[in-house]
A and B are shown apart, each in its own frame.
Chain A
């Protein structure tokens, strides 16, 4: 791959500059999901007086861990797509002056965010172990699922980042859509506990629903997702990735003129 070095250095830049000039630095990337987790736990446990469903077959009954298992992958997806749009838009000065593969602006964001996700998942793993839940044997499957999620995310990011160059509405639209998607994804509820038909379908078979359900299966229930589910994830991952690359390659030669 040409410009592999560029990709490496751009990713490194993305990681190094993210929390420059902040005292807590990297801790911020963790504080965000932790505070979300805290809010949801308080709301469901003490306001709505709900009890978490047990993990099957893990038997785990724990709101915070359930929330985190879904939040971390979902945040990776939503943040990466949002930041990618900004990275391409922010790369305008570069795009207008230098010829280089523009997709690397997106790839480097994905890589940097994926590194963050891995760190966050490592901490979740530690928390699960502390809660007495032996999650280690399931981690390879989780890694594979997260790789598919990364491919899927890259595809979405490529399409939206390219579209955003032409119409900045995409950016604003995304902040709404990503919020709606958050609630249409079983992150703060158990999919088996809801009855609203469209939401059940979306939660079970929607793209983000599928990824998050698989993450819950692995990290909370401790079982390998069904073969059908895994197949869906592979198709989603590669399918979206190739669509993204195709769209981006079609549009990127016009970036310099449009910016």
Chain B
């Protein structure tokens, strides 16, 4: 068994819920003797252990105690009972740029922020160039941060935070910062972290990253651990629970979204066969048809789909925005055809999920889980062990 990086034992945290917070002495005196407050248990006897080199996920709904747990682990909140033991150098990223001072330059803020995160002077100086390079703000580093755009601000903050060089990193939802390229860089950094054998605790709503990145996860409900173990199983159970109150359409598919524009069905065609099918072979050329229906005109919708293996791994998830195919307005009925030549999927069962969103991918018109399930049968090349073939050409000399 590898070394323990973090231990949480019988952690319980209560909060007092004042009807109105007594922050003045007058209120305190007025309320004396009848100091009513409701006690709210945010964490109830939570115990778990994180081993070194593990990526550990914490999932749960809003109000499940995730943030409280995080703050207790980070040493910001004191638990009412139980304890947290941190065995490695820890860095907890709860908020980026906490403590940035707007009047100071980027350079001064790097030093100040890194010091707040616990770095020594020499250490910061040694990593300074790396931090600046990672942030990509070389030419702005001597300007006061109040002149930065919010994106620049976050990039600088993340660059500092990630360079604190912790053995144990506790992260709260911050993968979703900056533009796409910066997100990509952050993700790379996390993967690098993981491959270095460092420990990461990820507290997030983003089930995809839990599934993809975590080795183990816990699921919090009302301050209690309701599940612990393999992230895929846990995420599935969690999604199931969350989807419990969502609509199921006539075919039993799970659907959500505002509904002005919906994918009514998904059809799969192979080659020139005009009849839709549900199976094909590796390297077949296929065509996906997304049939849509709009109850009223919808401007600039983005259509997307996702192919997932039964195990939950996403094989591909393209959308029309990726290729710049953005219709000004969509109304009535119609379909979108997606041609894919010699598809390199290996034998197995796959599911297609579809989404229709607005241009900014913020508002969801429609989201169908399991819009279509299909099978891939063995074709050429034949491979085992994974989902996709790269059509390798082997030579041995």
Is B31's beta carbon under 8 Å from chain A? no
Is B98's beta carbon under 8 Å from chain A? yes
- In the complex, are the beta carbons of A256 and B115 less than 8 A apart? no
Closest residue on chain A to residue B13 by CB atoms: A257
Q: Name, among A12, A21, A95, A257, the residue most crowded by chain B CB atoms within 10 Å (CB to CB).
A: A257
The interface residues of chain A lying within 8 Å CB-to-CB of B94 are: 97-98
Is B24's beta carbon under 8 Å from chain A? yes
Q: Is the interface of B mostly helix, strand, loop or mixed?
A: loop
- In the complex, are the beta carbons of B98 and A168 less than 8 A apart? no
Give complex CA distance A253, B77 in Å. 7
- In the complex, are the beta carbons of A3 and B103 less than 8 A apart? no
Contact with B along A98-135 (1 / 0, CB 8 A): 11100000000000000000000000000000000000
Least CB distance, A208 to chain B, in whole angstroms: 24
- Chain A contributes a number of interface residues (CB within 8 A of B) equal to 28
Is A16's beta carbon under 8 Å from chain B? yes
The answer to whether residues A169 and B116 also contact, given A13-B104, A256-B77 and a CB cut-off of 8 A, is no
Give complex CA distance A229, B75 in Å. 44
Docked complex: A200-231 residues within 8 A CB-CB of B: none
The interface residues of chain A lying within 8 Å CB-to-CB of B24 are: 167-169
The answer to whether residues A99 and B99 also contact, given A167-B25, A257-B15 and a CB cut-off of 8 A, is no
- In the complex, are the beta carbons of A20 and B115 less than 8 A apart? no
Closest residue on chain B to residue A257 by CB atoms: B77
The interface residues of chain A lying within 8 Å CB-to-CB of B15 are: 257
The answer to whether residues A13 and B108 also contact, given A6-B116, A99-B74, A100-B118 and a CB cut-off of 8 A, is yes
Docked complex: A1-46 residues within 8 A CB-CB of B: 3, 5-6, 8-10, 12-13, 16-17, 20-21
The interface residues of chain A lying within 8 Å CB-to-CB of B108 are: 12-13, 16
- In the complex, are the beta carbons of B112 and A10 less than 8 A apart? yes
Give complex CA distance A253, B71 in Å. 12
Is A177's beta carbon under 8 Å from chain B? no
- In the complex, are the beta carbons of A3 and B98 less than 8 A apart? no
12 extra interface residue pairs, beta carbon distance < 8 Å, beyond A16-B103, A167-B28: A5-B115, A5-B119, A6-B115, A9-B115, A13-B101, A13-B112, A94-B99, A97-B98, A99-B74, A167-B24, A168-B24, A169-B24
Name 11 A/B residue pairs within 8 A (Cβ), A-sorted.
Answer: A3-B118, A5-B121, A13-B101, A13-B104, A13-B108, A21-B103, A98-B98, A98-B99, A168-B23, A257-B15, A257-B77
Is B32's beta carbon under 8 Å from chain A? no
- In the complex, are the beta carbons of A97 and B95 less than 8 A apart? yes
The interface residues of chain B lying within 8 Å CB-to-CB of A21 are: 103
Docked complex: B110-159 residues within 8 A CB-CB of A: 111-112, 115-121, 124
Using a Cβ cutoff of 8 Å, how many contacts connect chains A and B?
76
Give complex CA distance A257, B108 in Å. 29
Give complex CA distance A96, B15 in Å. 15
Name the interface size band of chain B: 20 to 34
The interface residues of chain B lying within 8 Å CB-to-CB of A169 are: 24-26
Choose from B23, B75, B117 the contact partner of A166 (Cβ within 8 Å). Answer: B23
Which A residues fall within an 8 A CB radius of B?
Answer: 3, 5-6, 8-10, 12-13, 16-17, 20-21, 93-100, 166-169, 253-254, 256-257
- In the complex, are the beta carbons of B101 and A17 less than 8 A apart? yes
Closest residue on chain B to residue A21 by CB atoms: B103
The interface residues of chain A lying within 8 Å CB-to-CB of B78 are: 253-254, 257
The interface residues of chain B lying within 8 Å CB-to-CB of A3 are: 115, 118
Contact with A along B57-85 (1 / 0, CB 8 A): 00000000000000100111110000000
The interface residues of chain B lying within 8 Å CB-to-CB of A96 are: 76
**When A and B form their complex, which 7 residue pairs have the shortest distance between CB atoms, in order from nearest?**
A99-B75, A6-B115, A97-B98, A97-B95, A5-B121, A97-B94, A20-B103
Is B92's beta carbon under 8 Å from chain A? yes
- In the complex, are the beta carbons of B98 and A5 less than 8 A apart? no
Closest residue on chain A to residue B112 by CB atoms: A9
Choose from B22, B116, B120 the contact partner of A98 (Cβ within 8 Å). Answer: B116
Give complex CA distance A211, B22 in Å. 36
Give complex CA distance A20, B104 in Å. 9
Least CB distance, B347 to chain A, in whole angstroms: 49
